[in-house]
Structure 1
Amino acid sequence: MKKGIVLVAAAILSACTGGVDDLPLTGTDVASGAIIGGTIDEGDPAVAMLRISPAGEGTSNPCTASLIAPQVLLTAAHCVTPDKIKGGTVKAFFGTNADGEEGTWVNVVETHYDPEYDHANKRAGHDVAVAILEEPVAIQPLPYNRAPMTEDMVGDPVRLIGFGDDHEIWGFAGVKHHVSTIVNTVTPTLLGLGDEDHHTCQGDSGGPALMDVNGVPTIVGVTSFGGSQVPSICTDGWHSRVDISLDFIDQFVNAP
């Protein structure tokens, strides 16, 4: 890895409600949008936006990511699988507004996703990936959870961050939002976070769900998918538990 230092800042968010087995998947594969019920987040410098630009398409798709090592971002597997990148480019934006004048863009040179991820079954979790930056950034990385999560955590506070839509219907993404809400469901693979009025949307995919662990904001989940009976309308959010993907994540964080 290169040793140059780039000064940067960014953030991301997500949430969900309802029974996981009853929910159809929405289009968070394409571009997960801004937090529902949240506000603009000018802090959380370790949360970044990913801009995925497939080769030859002339368009780009946004996702969210979290810095977990100076050169490693944690995001969702469905954002960076080969069929999504299609030989194109991925860039990370650190800041608040990806279309504004302030902030920093850093090239992503590698992406890897959890081999246990199954795109046909997101309810199985493991929708986790890493993006390796071209150079390290001078931002304090976020810790990620190592302890098993239990149903006793239902009702505990959680904060979601993302660069997606800030209303229920897919629209503009690219401004970092956050919202405080609660854990409503814990399954062996997923976290259901938020309520009807506070959750993630298009463009928030890959973003962090943060809970305080010993007083330190810690990533417990990665925004994965939402539920809706109508395409492109956001009703809630489900998040892959990071504690079940530790073997995959650690190998990149601990790489020399």
Structure 2
Amino acid sequence: MRFVPFVLVSAVLVANIASPASAITNGTADQGDHPAVGALIDDKPYGDGTWSYCTGTLISPTVFLTAAHCGEPGQKTAKVSFAGHYRPGAKVYTGRYVPDARFHGKSELHDMAVVVFSTAIPNIKPARLPAAGMLDRLEADKSLKTARFTPVGYGSLAPTKGPHGRRFTYTDTRNQTSISFKSISDRWLYLSLNSSKGDGGTCFGDSGGPNFLGGPTSDLLVATTISGDDDACTSTNFDYRLDTASARRFLGKFVTLP
């Protein structure tokens, strides 16, 4: 699930195949800055001994937001860990998995899903969601041009080249980084790695994870990680905006929106 491409991003966005976003690159261990960010845990380990396959964020005491492409067709439940470094035996919460009914695997649209828990997750403060149209207003007043964003996730570290192609290293550890603003469209937030600023980004395994507006301790979740435009995880990140009418239509079924 961590490695399989899920969509072709529309030619309006990019001209090449998008690869599923996975892990934080050029980042650091989260060190408890974002306890509301958790990992989706598989039923059995991957070949490298790791267990997480996607990332998400607690947005209410009982609702965890992730990406719809992280689920399998017909999937009914999902397991989530909020451990900073997941190990077998760590606490796992099982909830009802609900993808946006408008999503299908041949499109990048409506790539949202929630895991709904029967009881509140204890001792974790949910992340905040943006008000309607917030990013549009920030773009209009030029604030986005210099804004910083903080992606968080459990995905692969920066891929390395090997004799048989790129090698992705997973550690089941929650990491964070900082990334620069590039542009927005009516559904997407585009974030671009700027080497002069030491930016990092997302990669395989970070899918569904948060992009917080602001610095390393921000809890304002404005977009979820969906994809990138290269397999090296070194270029533009495509993130699904949560302040649009379309996204809020889905989210409003599960949480009270600002």
Coarse TM-score class (shorter-chain normalised): 0.7 to 0.9
In 1, Cα distance between equivalents of 2:229 and 2:186: 19
Q: TM-score, normalised by structure 2?
A: 0.75
Change in Cα spacing, 1:22 to 1:173, as seen in structure 2 (3 Å) is farther
For the 8 Å contact 1:97–1:175, the answer to whether it is kept is yes
CA distance in 2, matches of 1:81, 1:100: 22
SS in 1 for 2:92: strand
On the 8 A contact 1:77/1:129 being kept in 2, the answer is yes
Aligned residue pairs, count: 217
Distance, in Å, in 2 between the alignment partners of 1:209 and 1:107 is 24
1:207 counterpart residue number: 209
**Distance in 2 of aligned mates of 1:238 and 1:147:** 20
- Counterpart residue number, 1:6: none
Task: Identify which of 164, 185, 206 aligns with 1:187.
Answer: 185
- The answer to whether structure 1 residue 136 and structure 2 residue 120 are counterparts is yes
Tell me, yes or no, if structure 1 residue 234 matches structure 2 residue 233.
Answer: yes
Counterpart residue identity of residue 106, structure 1: Y
Matched, 1:248 2:241: no
Q: Structure 2: give runs of 5+ residues left out of the alignment.
A: 1-11, 45-49, 160-166
Match of 1:48 among 10, 34, 38: 38
Q: Counterpart in 1 of 2:131?
A: 146
Deviations 1:169-189 (A, max 9, x none): 423141100001221121111
Which among 81, 84, 101 is matched to residue 93 of structure 1? 81
Q: How far, CA to CA, are the matches of 1:173 and 1:121 in structure 2?
A: 30
Deviation at 1:163, TM superposition (A): 0.3
**One-letter amino acid of the counterpart of residue 105, structure 1:** V
Q: In the alignment, is the contact (CA less than 8 A) between 1:170 and 1:201 conserved in 2?
A: no
Q: Would you say 1:175 and 2:173 are equivalent positions?
A: yes
Correspondence for 1:7 = none
Identity %: 28
Contact map agreement 2:51 2:172 (CA 8 A) in 1: no
The whole-number CA distance in structure 1 between the counterparts of 2:51 and 2:86 is 13
Counting only pairs closer than 5 Å after superposition, residues 218-229 of structure 1 correspond to structure 2 as: 218-228=220-230
Q: Given the superposition, is the C-alpha separation of residues 75 and 52 from structure 1 closer, same or farther in structure 2, using an over 3 Å criterion?
A: same
Q: Contact 1:62–1:173 (CA<8 Å) still a contact in 2?
A: no
Matched AA of 2:240:
S
What CA deviation, in whole Å up to 9, does each residue of 1:38-90 have, x standing for no partner? 00112111000012449xxxx9661001001111001111112526x4x6x52
**Aligned-partner residue type, residue 240 of structure 1:** Y
Partners of 1:248 and 1:226 lie apart in 2 by 23
Is the Cα contact below 8 Å between 1:63 and 1:207 reproduced in 2?
A: yes
In structure 1, list runs of 5 or more residues that go unmatched.
Answer: 1-18
Q: Supply the distance in 1 between the matched residues of 2:52 and 2:83 (Cα, whole angstroms).
A: 17
CA distance in 2, matches of 1:219, 1:78: 19
1:11 counterpart residue number: none
Name the aligned partner's letter for residue 93 of structure 2.
V
Return the structure number with greater relative CO, CA threshold 8 A, min gap 6: 1
Deviations 1:148-175 (A, max 9, x none): 1234423311101000011124231411
In structure 2, the CA distance between the partners of 1:212 and 1:172, relative to structure 1 (3 Å rule), is closer
